[in-house]
């Protein structure tokens, strides 16, 4: 019983980090039709910058902010510098972001060295909580809380504000929105910045759970995030949340109870969902 | 008039003939490692061609194409290493059949969606295969060797003839020519034109009575078949297959080769594979640690500025030179 | 017209490449090939290995046995297929006399198979392969022993010096990890200890918390993590308030000064066996640390130390053959080599496995700095019994 509860808690906290990563990816995919394959590397980049700031200042909040801004700027550079010139050509856009995986990973290795960076746990997240006879680090609960809070803000932004309404409309029919005299360009740019920034900030937050982040972790994180948005469905905050929790919990249970298939349980779930519902569990129609 | 046609033909196929001649006589004057490099170029050329059938002719942006390559290679390596089936006529067809079988199944799932989602699904399915061969636990791990990869495959013996590096180059060359001509024939057949029609306008094709789904599905399986043949050639050539040869990195590299050579040109694939593999060969002599960076820059630069591809431009250049 | 430029560019590149290869005839110099990881996650090891190899070459002025020498470093990218490709190229085109590396276990096994065929002397710069692979590798010398051999040293320490009776193991499920833990448990059980639990973590697991929460209490925790995941693993163990002492069957990062600082307080008290640490207190090591710091601006890692020693072994072998690069002459020179290392002499026993001289060291905090402290030394010897390798302690 203790193991089941512990595994469930681990799965949920892991899922929350996945949600934060995937929500940004889902936003750009839904709105612009671009899968930003460099999303995972941008996640790691934010973590490196954030952890550097955390060491220098000792402030967790500043670190999250710095990580978010660094990743956001990286995303902005990719969008403004490259993707913009490939307007409406989704495939080349995706391939450009694939190239950036190699570029950013190797640049990080070059500039920052091969050492993985270990997590920064602020004093107010230190300590532990005993549940079912197992002592859990408190920051796992903090991560769940932060995940829910950010999720709520994102949901509010997308469902209850005017910008959110434009974004949703843009996902359904970009031409119609343009025809209504709304300029989608700043919205797209903003979404790209914001999506990347969430990734960077979530690395600084989520690395407490993983313990450390290395320059080469981007690809793994990208693949999990892709699985999350396919399972949950593209373009909605709820979809990303459901997908992330599902993947997080199933992956964690798989690793404990079915280690023989644990390297691909995630993809099995994904294919199963696709066969039943090609648009994902809570996705907009394709 | 007749003369003119013959002259035009000569000019048209002259360069192709020269390239074929250079490739045919390569082992006579080139170093062993250059022969080895060109064997690899031919194998990847075929693999990229099979991807071109999907991308350039059918409009299916598959991002997990290396999986079929890997499935064939792994099947053959497993049969040889664990089951002692050294006969080329048993192992090789089994590997290719496995790749086709996987393509049949993956196609069913992936073709439920289209466009960028198709790309994502095929990417995920490629990673599923990667996850399976990367598993080092249990009976599966014992079979595939997990992250250590699987080795112990040597050049094949066909009808009593044992291949060596040079002769295997000719085997690869012959297989490449046969497969490439088959692919060329497919793209020029009514079926191939049907595919291109679907790529251009799926709704119109449907209105004309084409079963677009079936066309795409068959194309996907044909792509898997030729990728499987490339995988078969590769595992006998390298003697080794590892999970990295199956995953997203390998699939992405194929895309780069495809775009450099020219999408939808078929023969451009060989050019793309040649450019990238030669570049890799030489960069690793200078700055091996910066290869990923160079690869990434190539990726971005080619897509931003050079999407037309090398082959169409070379053909243009040649034609212009001939007109003078 | 504009379009023609890139086109011409590619054609020129191809042409240059063709001529360049033609010119690459083998010259009268000794070529040493070195395959290691420069781009993937294991580059933390590979980069420091390359630095040490370059330093060793510079110290001898790129001259070995009176002949000019060249070091050719290639990247393995943690991919056995790439390592094979690079090995083939180094041997067939560059005509190297001797191959160092690779580092990654799978790459090493793949290359060992290849050098068996081509009879190229191959030296591991680390304890890089399991017993099973080394037993099959006839042209690969392992100066620092096998995975099992260094694990064995850890087991001897846990049972003899610390007097632990029970152990709980937790390792990434990976050929090398299994070998390290097996070596450890062989020594531990020979001395009356036993395992109360064995947990195998699938490769690629990001969050190891599920395994930590499932740990059973024992005298000692024996974890093994692949490469860079050590940092994460050790921190998570401490965060979940596991209070068992930790003895690693092998863990390189306490011997990686920069990474040790990155692990921080969580690492204090960890004990592990190692082939080299920068805190070894001998004049020979002091000189090396100083030279290394001067050249590269950082402290040497365990991999730098081992690679530097391997290079000395290589120089010695060439000196013995008088610059003869034939495989048989080199093999004879290596088999009978006796070179002074940092911990003890490097010599070879059965199966071309080095007689391993290992330090057991412990992480301590001095002020704000993390250091390691050498607790003791063991010499472990490998003997071949049938097709299996068996390890035992050599009494000093």
The yes-or-no verdict on residue C109 having pLDDT over 60 is yes
The helix or strand, by DSSP H or E, that contains position C369, with its residue range, turns out to be strand C369-385
- What's CA A246's distance to the chain center, in Å? 15
The yes-or-no verdict on residue A1 having pLDDT over 70 is no
pLDDT band at B281 (very low <50, low <70, confident <90, very high): confident
CA distances for C197 relative to C180, C194, C221, C345, angstroms: 16, 9, 10, 37
pLDDT of residue B316: 83
- The dihedral region occupied by C101, where left means phi > 0, alpha psi between -120 and 50, and beta the remainder, is left
pLDDT of residue A236: 83
Residues 9-48 of A with CB under 8 A from B: 29, 33-35
Average pLDDT of chain A, as a whole number: 89
Kindly state the percentage of chain B with pLDDT values over 90. 54
CA distances for B314 relative to B47, B50, B53, B318, angstroms: 22, 22, 21, 6
β-pairing, C356-366 vs C369-385, is antiparallel
How far apart CA B100 and CA C91 sit, in angstroms, is 36
The yes-or-no verdict on residue B30 having pLDDT over 70 is yes
Kindly state the percentage of chain C with pLDDT values over 70. 92
Residue pLDDT, tens place only, A127-145? 888 887 778 889 999 999 9
Give the closest of B145, B244, B291 to C39, CB-based. Answer: B291
Retrieve residue C6's tokens: 């890139």
For chain B, say whether A216 makes contact (Cβ under 8 Å). Answer: no
CA distances for B112 relative to A94, A231, B64, B268, angstroms: 21, 14, 16, 30
Residue pLDDT, tens place only, C361-390? 999 999 889 999 999 999 999 998 888 889
The yes-or-no verdict on residue C20 having pLDDT over 60 is no
The yes-or-no verdict on residue C253 having pLDDT over 80 is yes
Give the closest of C3, C106, C114 to B148, CB-based. Answer: C106
CA distances for A202 relative to A44, B10, B176, B285, C252, angstroms: 10, 62, 48, 39, 29
Residues B287-307, mean pLDDT to the nearest whole number: 90
Residues C104-109, mean pLDDT to the nearest whole number: 88
How far apart CA C136 and CA C116 sit, in angstroms, is 9
- Number of other CB atoms surrounding residue B307 within 10 Å: 15
How far apart CA B308 and CA A56 sit, in angstroms, is 48
Residue pLDDT, tens place only, A210-250? 888 999 889 989 999 999 998 998 888 899 999 999 999 99
Residues B101-126, mean pLDDT to the nearest whole number: 91
How far apart CA C130 and CA B128 sit, in angstroms, is 28
How far apart CA C165 and CA B24 sit, in angstroms, is 68
pLDDT of residue C9: 54
How far apart CA B93 and CA C79 sit, in angstroms, is 27
**B138 neighbourhood in chain A, CB within 8 Å:** 259-260
The yes-or-no verdict on residue A201 having pLDDT over 60 is yes
pLDDT of residue B3: 53
Retrieve residue C97's tokens: 């006399």
Residue pLDDT, tens place only, C66-95? 899 999 999 998 888 889 889 988 998 888
In B62-73, which positions are buried (b, 16+ CB within 10 angstroms) versus exposed (e)?
Answer: bbbbbbbbbbbb
Q: Is C360 helix (H, G, I), strand (E, B) or coil?
A: strand
Chains within contact range of chain A (3+ C-beta pairs < 8 Å): B, C
C-beta separation of C115 from C327 below 8 A: no
How far apart CA C381 and CA C391 sit, in angstroms, is 6
**A263 neighbourhood in chain C, CB within 8 Å:** 202-204
CB contact under 8 A, C174 and B147: yes
Select from B213, B170, B221 the least CA-distant residue to B194.
B213
Q: Which of A215-219, A249-253, B158-162, B228-232 has the highest mean pLDDT?
A: B228-232
How far apart CA C209 and CA A276 sit, in angstroms, is 32
**C227 neighbourhood in chain B, CB within 8 Å:** none
ipTM of model: 0.89
Select from C41, B219, B174 the least CA-distant residue to A220.
C41
C-beta separation of A267 from B110 below 8 A: no
Return the number of CB contacts < 8 Å for B and C: 116
Residue pLDDT, tens place only, C265-302? 888 999 999 999 999 999 999 999 999 999 999 999 99
CB contact under 8 A, C88 and B36: yes
Return the number of CB contacts < 8 Å for A and C: 99
For chain B, say whether C350 makes contact (Cβ under 8 Å). Answer: no
pLDDT band at B115 (very low <50, low <70, confident <90, very high): confident
The helix or strand, by DSSP H or E, that contains position C122, with its residue range, turns out to be strand C122-123
pLDDT of residue C23: 46
pLDDT band at C25 (very low <50, low <70, confident <90, very high): very low
Please spell the DSSP secondary structure of C154-184, one letter per residue: HHHIIIIIS---EEEEEEESSHHHHHHHHHH
Retrieve residue A58's tokens: 């000792």
Burial tier of B127 (Cβ tally within 10 Å: 0-12, 13-18, 19+): buried
Catalogue the long-range contacts made by A79-87 (C-beta closer than 8 Å, 24 or more residues apart). Answer: A79/A188, A79/A189, A79/A192, A79/A193, A80/A189, A82/B300, A82/B304, A83/A34, A83/A192, A85/B304, A86/B303, A86/B304
pLDDT band at C3 (very low <50, low <70, confident <90, very high): very low
pLDDT of residue C213: 82
Q: Which residues of B touch C (CB under 8 A)?
A: 30-34, 36, 134-137, 141, 145-149, 151-152, 238-242, 244-245, 274-275, 278-279, 281-282, 284-285, 288-289, 291-292, 305-306, 308, 310, 313-314, 316-317
How far apart CA B279 and CA B303 sit, in angstroms, is 17
Ranges of H-type helices in chain C:
4-23, 43-59, 80-92, 105-118, 131-136, 147-156, 175-190, 209-213, 229-239, 257-263, 283-296, 302-321, 327-335
pLDDT of residue B200: 87
pLDDT of residue B174: 95
C-beta separation of C363 from C253 below 8 A: no
**A115 neighbourhood in chain C, CB within 8 Å:** 44, 256, 258-259, 262
Residue C200 has phi, psi (to 5 degrees) of -115, 120
pLDDT of residue C26: 46
**A262 neighbourhood in chain C, CB within 8 Å:** 202, 205
How far apart CA C373 and CA C396 sit, in angstroms, is 21
pLDDT of residue B129: 94
pLDDT of residue C18: 54
CB contact under 8 A, C213 and A10: yes
Q: Which residues of C touch A (CB under 8 A)?
A: 39-41, 43-44, 47, 173, 200-207, 209-211, 213-214, 228-229, 231-236, 239-241, 256, 258-259, 262-264
pLDDT band at C307 (very low <50, low <70, confident <90, very high): very high
How far apart CA A84 and CA C35 sit, in angstroms, is 41
DSSP structure class, residue B53: I
For chain B, say whether A135 makes contact (Cβ under 8 Å). Answer: no
* Peptide bond connecting A137 to the previous residue in cis, omega within 30 degrees of 0: no
The yes-or-no verdict on residue C1 having pLDDT over 80 is no
| pTM, rounded to two decimals | 0.90
Which of A39, A104, A106, A221 best probes binding to B when mutated, by most B CB atoms within 10 angstroms?
A106
**Residue pointed to by tokens 């700027």:** A73
The yes-or-no verdict on residue C27 having pLDDT over 80 is no
pLDDT of residue C230: 85
Kindly state the percentage of chain B with pLDDT values over 70. 96
Q: Which residue of B has its CA nearest to A270?
A: B124
pLDDT of residue A107: 95
Give the closest of A7, A211, A216 to C210, CB-based. Answer: A7
Retrieve residue B2's tokens: 């007749």
**C173 neighbourhood in chain A, CB within 8 Å:** 259
C-beta separation of C112 from C137 below 8 A: yes
How far apart CA B72 and CA B89 sit, in angstroms, is 14
For chain B, say whether A124 makes contact (Cβ under 8 Å). Answer: no
Q: What angle do CA A74, A223, A239 make, to 5 degrees?
A: 90
C-beta separation of A225 from A115 below 8 A: no
Kindly state the percentage of chain C with pLDDT values over 90. 59
The number of C-alpha atoms within 13 Å of C66 and in the hemisphere containing its C-beta is 6
CB contact under 8 A, B244 and C105: no
The yes-or-no verdict on residue B203 having pLDDT over 90 is no
Retrieve residue C254's tokens: 């306490």
Average pLDDT of chain C, as a whole number: 88
Q: Which residue has the higher pLDDT, A33 or B167?
A: B167
Give the closest of A35, A219, A286 to B113, CB-based. Answer: A286
β-pairing, C98-100 vs C30-36, is parallel
């Amino acid at each position: 019983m203790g193991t089941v509860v512990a595994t469930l808690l681990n799965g949920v906290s892991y899922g929350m980090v996945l949600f934060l990563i995937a929500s940004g990816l889902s936003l750009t995919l839904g709105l612009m039709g671009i899968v930003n394959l460099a999303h995972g590397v941008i996640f790691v980049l934010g973590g490196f910058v954030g952890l550097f700031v955390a060491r220098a200042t000792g402030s967790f909040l500043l670190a999250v902010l710095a990580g978010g801004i660094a990743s956001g700027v990286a995303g902005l550079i990719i969008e403004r510098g490259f993707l913009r010139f490939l307007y409406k050509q989704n495939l080349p856009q995706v391939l450009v972001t694939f190239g950036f995986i190699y570029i950013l990973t190797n640049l990080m290795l070059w500039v920052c060295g091969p050492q993985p960076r270990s997590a920064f746990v602020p004093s107010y997240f230190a300590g532990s909580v005993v549940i079912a006879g197992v002592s859990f680090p408190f920051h796992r609960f903090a991560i769940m809380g932060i995940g829910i809070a950010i999720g709520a803000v994102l949901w509010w932004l997308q469902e209850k504000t005017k910008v959110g309404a434009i974004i949703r409309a843009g996902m359904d029919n970009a031409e119609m929105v343009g025809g209504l005299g709304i300029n989608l360009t700043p919205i797209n740019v903003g979404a790209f910045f914001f999506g990347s920034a969430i990734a960077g900030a979530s690395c600084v937050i989520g690395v407490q759970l993983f313990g450390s982040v290395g320059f080469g972790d981007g690809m793994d994180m990208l693949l999990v995030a892709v699985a999350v948005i396919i399972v949950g469905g593209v373009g909605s905050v709820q979809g990303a949340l459901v997908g992330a929790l599902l993947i997080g919990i199933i992956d964690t249970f798989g690793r404990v109870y079915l280690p023989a298939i644990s390297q691909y349980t995630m993809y099995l779930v994904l294919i199963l969902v696709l066969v039943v519902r090609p648009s994902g569990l809570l996705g907009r129609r394709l | 008039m007749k003369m003119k046609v013959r002259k035009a033909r000569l000019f048209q196929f002259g360069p192709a003939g020269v390239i074929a001649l250079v490739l045919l006589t390569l082992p006579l004057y080139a170093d062993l490692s250059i022969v080895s490099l060109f064997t690899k170029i031919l194998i990847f050329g075929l693999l990229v061609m099979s991807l071109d059938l999907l991308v350039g002719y059918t409009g299916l942006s598959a991002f997990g194409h290396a999986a079929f390559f890997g499935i064939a290679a792994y099947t053959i390596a497993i049969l040889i290493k664990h089951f002692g089936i050294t006969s080329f006529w048993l192992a090789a067809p089994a590997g290719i059949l496995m790749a086709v079988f996987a393509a049949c199944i993956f196609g069913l799932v992936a073709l439920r969606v289209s466009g960028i989602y198709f790309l994502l699904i095929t990417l995920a399915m490629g990673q599923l295969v990667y996850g399976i061969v990367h598993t080092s636990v249990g009976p599966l791990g014992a079979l595939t060797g997990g992250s250590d990869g699987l080795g112990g495959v040597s050049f094949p013996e066909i009808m009593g003839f044992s291949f060596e590096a040079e002769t295997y180059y000719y085997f690869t060359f012959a297989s490449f020519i046969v497969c490439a001509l088959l692919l060329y024939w497919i793209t020029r057949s009514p079926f191939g034109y049907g595919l291109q029609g679907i790529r251009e306008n799926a709704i119109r094709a449907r209105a004309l009575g084409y079963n677009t789904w079936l066309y795409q599905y068959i194309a996907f399986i044909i792509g898997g078949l030729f990728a499987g043949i490339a995988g078969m050639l590769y595992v006998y050539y390298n003697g080794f297959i590892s999970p990295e040869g199956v995953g997203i990195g390998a699939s992405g590299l194929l895309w780069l080769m495809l775009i450099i050579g020219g999408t939808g040109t078929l023969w451009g694939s060989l050019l793309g594979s040649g450019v990238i593999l030669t570049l890799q060969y030489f960069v690793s002599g200078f700055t091996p640690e910066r290869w990923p960076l160079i690869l990434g820059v190539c990726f971005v630069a080619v897509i931003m500025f050079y999407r037309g591809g090398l082959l169409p431009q070379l053909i243009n250049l040649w034609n212009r030179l001939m007109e003078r | 017209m504009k379009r023609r430029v890139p086109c011409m560019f590619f054609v020129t590149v191809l042409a240059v490449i063709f001529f360049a290869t033609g010119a690459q005839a083998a010259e009268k110099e000794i070529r040493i090939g070195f395959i290691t990881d420069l781009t993937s996650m294991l580059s933390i090891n590979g980069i420091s290995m390359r630095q040490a190899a370059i330093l060793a070459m510079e110290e001898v002025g790129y001259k070995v046995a009176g002949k000019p020498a060249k070091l050719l470093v290639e990247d393995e990218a943690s991919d056995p297929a790439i390592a094979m490709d690079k090995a083939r190229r180094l041997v067939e085109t560059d005509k190297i006399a001797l191959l160092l590396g690779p580092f990654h276990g799978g790459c090493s096994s793949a290359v060992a198979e290849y050098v068996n065929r081509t009879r190229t002397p191959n030296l591991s710069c680390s304890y890089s392969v399991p017993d099973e692979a080394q037993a099959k590798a006839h042209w690969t010398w392992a100066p620092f022993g096998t995975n099992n051999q260094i694990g064995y040293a850890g087991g001897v320490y846990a049972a003899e010096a610390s007097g632990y009776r029970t152990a709980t193991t937790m390792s990434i499920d990976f050929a090398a990890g299994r070998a390290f833990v097996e070596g450890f448990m062989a020594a531990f059980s020979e001395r009356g200890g036993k395992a109360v639990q064995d947990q195998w973590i699938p490769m690629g697991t990001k969050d190891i918390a599920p395994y930590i929460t499932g740990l059973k209490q024992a005298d000692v925790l024996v974890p093994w993590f692949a490469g860079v995941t050590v940092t994460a693993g050790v921190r998570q163990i401490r965060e979940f308030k596991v209070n068992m002492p930790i003895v690693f069957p092998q863990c390189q990062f306490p011997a990686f000064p920069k990474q040790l600082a990155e692990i921080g307080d969580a690492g204090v008290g960890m004990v592990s066996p190692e082939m080299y640490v920068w805190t070894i207190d001998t004049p020979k090591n002091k000189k090396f640390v100083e030279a290394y710091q001067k050249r590269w601006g950082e402290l040497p890692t365990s991999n730098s130390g081992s690679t530097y020693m391997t290079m000395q072994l290589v120089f010695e072998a060439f000196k013995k053959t008088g610059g003869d690069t034939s495989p048989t002459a080199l093999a004879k020179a290596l088999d009978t080599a006796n070179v002074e290392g940092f911990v003890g002499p490097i010599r070879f026993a059965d199966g071309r496995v080095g007689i391993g001289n290992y330090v057991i060291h412990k992480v301590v905090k001095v002020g704000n700095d993390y250091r390691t402290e050498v607790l003791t030394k063991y010499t472990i010897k490998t003997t071949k019994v049938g097709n299996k390798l068996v390890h035992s302690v050599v009494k000093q």
